Amino acid sequence: MVVRLLQYWRGLGSDIRIPSRSGIDPKAIPDMWPNCAILDVDGKETDPEITYIGSELTAHAGADLSGRKLSSVPADTLVSTGFSYFGQVLAKKAPITFGGEFTDSRGVTILYRSIILPLSADGTRIDRLLAAANCREVVSE
Amino acid sequence: MTPFTKYEVQIYTRGAWKIESIYDDREIAIFEAKKIQRGGHYLAVRVIEERASPLRGEADVKIVFRATKANEGGDRGPYAHKAARQEAQLALRAMRADGGDSEMYSDYGEVAVESCAGAVLMVLGLGGILLIGIAAIFAIRHYFGAL
């Protein structure tokens, strides 16, 4: 999913122009959109606001996180852990994908992979982030 | 969570290196770099490994992959024109200046030599054909003049 979303994002911009939020068409990425979130970083560079969150991410969080600040999301969730490096995307002005594992509130180890892609209304200044993550539980033997 | 080792895919565009994307996996980073290279939109692409060293408070940086598309197509390729060739040479110089380990390295300089040799052969060939033509004209004129 991460590589396909990156490919989609690349197709919307160019080497000098960052794609815009309005360019993202959920219908073009129907299988990935439930795993996506849009983070508003315009004037909120240190603590983005979640303006959209997909159904899969909502299910993992156990609550609708729309309108909430990222810092208010519990630390042992996919959204909080998977999108924790948003600051690096703002600093590098480039997509970043990381993976890892964390232990959720039930004590279950979760393997995840996430990606955060910059978005810009004017092609240069980042005002939104397109983030996506998926995960699976690690089954202990 | 930030991994200790990151891989930056960088593209050479408009006379400078630009970060294209960042990964925590070397194989994915090199795979993406090769994909970008195959796309042919950029003169050069490289992958920088950045290994954090918390004890020293800084990162160890090295190039783990680099390539140019400058030699694609030879004399008829996208880099056959002078301006493109100059930019490709700039990209190559920038790569050489950075050093590092390379797993793949397309040297434009070698291609330039091949292109030059090809041009010389073509000129010699055309010259030969011209001489044969002139000789044929003289022979025909001499033959018909003798009649």
Are the beta carbons of B1 and A94 separated by less than 8 Å?
no
The pLDDT of residue B140: 81
User: Chain B contact for A94, CB < 8 A?
Assistant: yes
Are the beta carbons of B1 and A96 separated by less than 8 Å?
no
Span of A47-56, B68-77, B136-145 with lowest mean pLDDT: B68-77
State the CB neighbour count (10 A cutoff) for residue A5. Answer: 21
**In terms of pLDDT, which residue wins out, B113 or B9?**
B9
Average pLDDT over residues B56-70: 83
**Average per-residue pLDDT in chain B?**
73
Longest dimension (CA), chain A: 51
Are the beta carbons of B19 and A88 separated by less than 8 Å?
no
Query: Average pLDDT by consecutive 10-residue portion of chain A (141 residues)?
Result: 91 86 93 96 93 93 90 90 93 94 89 95 94 88 61
A69 beta partners: A49
Q: What beta strand segments (E) does B14-101 contain? A: 16-23, 44-53, 58-68
**In terms of pLDDT, which residue wins out, A11 or B114?**
A11
Angle, alpha carbons B45-A134-A126 (nearest 5°): 55
How far apart CA A2 and CA A134 sit, in angstroms, is: 9
| pLDDT above 90 for B98 | no
Residue A64 C-alpha, separation from nearest chain B C-alpha, in angstroms: 23
Are the beta carbons of A85 and B11 separated by less than 8 Å?
no
Specify whether the CB–CB gap between A104 and B18 falls below 8 A.
Answer: no
Say which residue the tokens 């790569």 belong to: B95
Are the beta carbons of B32 and A6 separated by less than 8 Å?
yes
Are the beta carbons of B28 and A84 separated by less than 8 Å?
no
Domains defined along chain A, listed by start? 2-135 (3.30.450.20)
The pLDDT of residue B63: 94
Average pLDDT over residues B102-125: 46
Residue B137 C-alpha, separation from nearest chain A C-alpha, in angstroms: 58
pLDDT band of residue B104 (cuts 50, 70, 90) is very low
The pLDDT of residue B147: 56
Q: DSSP 3-state assignment of A41?
A: coil
Average pLDDT over residues B13-20: 90
Tell me whether strands A96-103 and B16-23 are parallel, antiparallel or unpaired.
parallel
| pLDDT above 50 for B114 | no
User: Is A95 exposed, middle or buried (CB count within 10 Å of its CB: 0-12, 13-18, 19+)?
Assistant: buried
Are the beta carbons of B21 and A100 separated by less than 8 Å?
no
The pLDDT of residue A109: 92
Residue B89 C-alpha, separation from nearest chain A C-alpha, in angstroms: 20
**In terms of pLDDT, which residue wins out, B7 or B114?**
B7
| pTM over the 0.80 mark | no
Span of A37-41, B51-55, B76-80 with lowest mean pLDDT: B76-80
Interface test with B, best of A6, A83, A116, A130 (most B CBs within 10 A): A6
Instruction: Please state, in angstroms and as integers, the Cα–Cα distance from residue A62 to each residue in A77, A112, B134, following that order.
Output: 9, 17, 89
**In terms of pLDDT, which residue wins out, B69 or B79?**
B69
Chain B residues touching residue A102 (CB < 8 angstroms): 1
pLDDT band of residue B106 (cuts 50, 70, 90) is very low
